Amino acid sequence: MTDPVVEFLGASKWYGNVIGLNNLSLRLPAGVTGLLGPNGSGKSTLLQLATGQLRPSQGGVRVLGEQPWNNPGLNRFIGLCPEQDAFFEWMTGREFLTNCALLSGLGRKGARNATDRVLEMVGMTEHAGRAVRGYSKGMRQRIKLAQALVHEPRILFLDEPFTGTDPLARRDLMDIVIDYGRKGRAVLLASHVFHEVQSVTRDIVLLNRGRLVAQGDVRRIRDLIDSHPHRIVLKSPAVRVLAASLAIREDVVGIEFKQPGMIVVETRRPDAFYSQLADPKLQALAPIDEVYSDDDSMEAVFKYLVTT
């Protein structure tokens, strides 16, 4: 195996009596790696340890060969797209990114150029002059990813970067992640949605309850997951039209009207289902505002994995 870019050496993290990460040993080389796990599995804890926000309770963490806790010099090479939907809301998108670039040590001119570059990359140049507080969820996710890229880090940590995005934004953001990995950088993408991860990489790490469950090629995990119906939540203003359009598909095995404007679709072929969502005809018929995976099916797979 090639030298690891990120390494966990029997690392544990607990918060009082709650275990966030349990004796995790992991070596991640460059390229894109997917970090999969249900809510509470320790993905965010892992990312916060790797980015030096938390200190391991036991064991060690190495990023580019250095321990990340209280190591600001290392942060020049690290980019993090955090999960929380938080910003300096009063700033415009451009101000936010320029400030992030300045905080990363870029000079004024460099920060301006870097801001223009990442705005273009995430497709936000047109909206850069608007205050972040007025952005849609998809725009906020794009800007959040941009701030992680603004100083061209060599390792990119992404925590649920596609949550709440519409299908088009999701595709755009995935392409950015794939391109970044192709440029020789390391990307660790944390998500609880298997098919998001599968769309950007074949190499995955599975976590559950703070433990490493599986690591390796996506196909092995996929075989396990495909035996379970996958539940996908869709939000749309024309939810009944959308349901009618989807009901005729053979891979759809169930549709549940959960709340006004929201349905949960069960499918046995999530790949095909996701790719069909970006279809312009479907979008014209019933625009989809938000797509995300219901946690239950993932949880079922994890239960299966940890009990076999």
Q: Which of residues 123-142 bind other proteins (CB under 8 A)?
A: none
Parallel/antiparallel/unpaired status of strands 203-208 and 211-217: antiparallel
The region of 61-69, 118-126, 225-233, 267-275 touching other proteins under the rule CB under 8 A is: 61-69
Among 203, 251, 271, 289, binds other proteins (CB under 8 A): 203
Beta bridge partners of 193: none
Beta bridge partners of 21: 13
Site string for other proteins, 68-107 (x = CB under 8 A): --x-xxxxxxxxx-xxx-xxx-x--------xx-xxxxxx
Nearer residue to other proteins within complex by CB, 25 or 259: 25
Among 127, 185, 222, 231, binds other proteins (CB under 8 A): 185
Q: Is 58 in the site for other proteins (CB under 8 A)?
A: no
Q: Is 112 in the site for other proteins (CB under 8 A)?
A: no
Nearer residue to other proteins within complex by CB, 100 or 252: 100
State the angle between helix axes of 108-121 and 137-149 in degrees (0 to 180), rounded to the nearest 10: 130
For 101, the token pair is 């670039």
How many binding residues for other proteins (CB under 8 A)?
78
Q: Is 30 in the site for other proteins (CB under 8 A)?
A: yes
Instruction: Give the C-alpha distances (Å, rounded to integers) separating 286 from 13, 139, 171, 230, 262.
Output: 45, 21, 19, 21, 12
Among 10, 129, 134, 216, binds other proteins (CB under 8 A): 216
Instruction: Give the C-alpha distances (Å, rounded to integers) separating 201 from 18, 181, 217, 284.
Output: 31, 9, 9, 30
Among 8, 36, 43, 297, binds other proteins (CB under 8 A): 43
The region of 15-23, 133-141, 171-179, 283-291 touching other proteins under the rule CB under 8 A is: 15-23
Give the Cα separation of 54 and 59 in Å (integer): 13
Give the Cα separation of 258 and 279 in Å (integer): 24
Q: Which of residues 260-299 bind other proteins (CB under 8 A)?
A: none
Nearer residue to other proteins within complex by CB, 128 or 255: 128
Nearer residue to other proteins within complex by CB, 8 or 273: 8
Nearer residue to other proteins within complex by CB, 86 or 284: 86
Q: Is 44 in the site for other proteins (CB under 8 A)?
A: yes
User: How far is the first Cα of the chain from the last one, in angstroms, to the nearest whole number?
Assistant: 27
- The pair phi, psi for residue 293, each rounded to 5°, is -85, 135
Q: Is 87 helix (H, G, I), strand (E, B) or coil?
A: coil
Kindly state the greatest CA–CA separation across the chain. Answer: 56
Q: Is 305 in the site for other proteins (CB under 8 A)?
A: yes
Give the Cα separation of 46 and 146 in Å (integer): 22
For 211, the token pair is 């433990």
Q: Is 54 in the site for other proteins (CB under 8 A)?
A: yes
Q: Tell which phi-psi region holds residue 40, choosing left (phi > 0), alpha (psi between -120 and 50) or beta.
A: left
Nearer residue to other proteins within complex by CB, 110 or 287: 110
Nearer residue to other proteins within complex by CB, 248 or 308: 308
Q: Is 67 in the site for other proteins (CB under 8 A)?
A: no
E strand spans, 179-281? 186-191, 203-208, 211-217, 230-235, 252-259, 262-267
Site string for other proteins, 228-247 (x = CB under 8 A): --------------------
The alpha carbons of the chain give a radius of gyration, in whole angstroms, of: 20
Nearer residue to other proteins within complex by CB, 77 or 238: 77
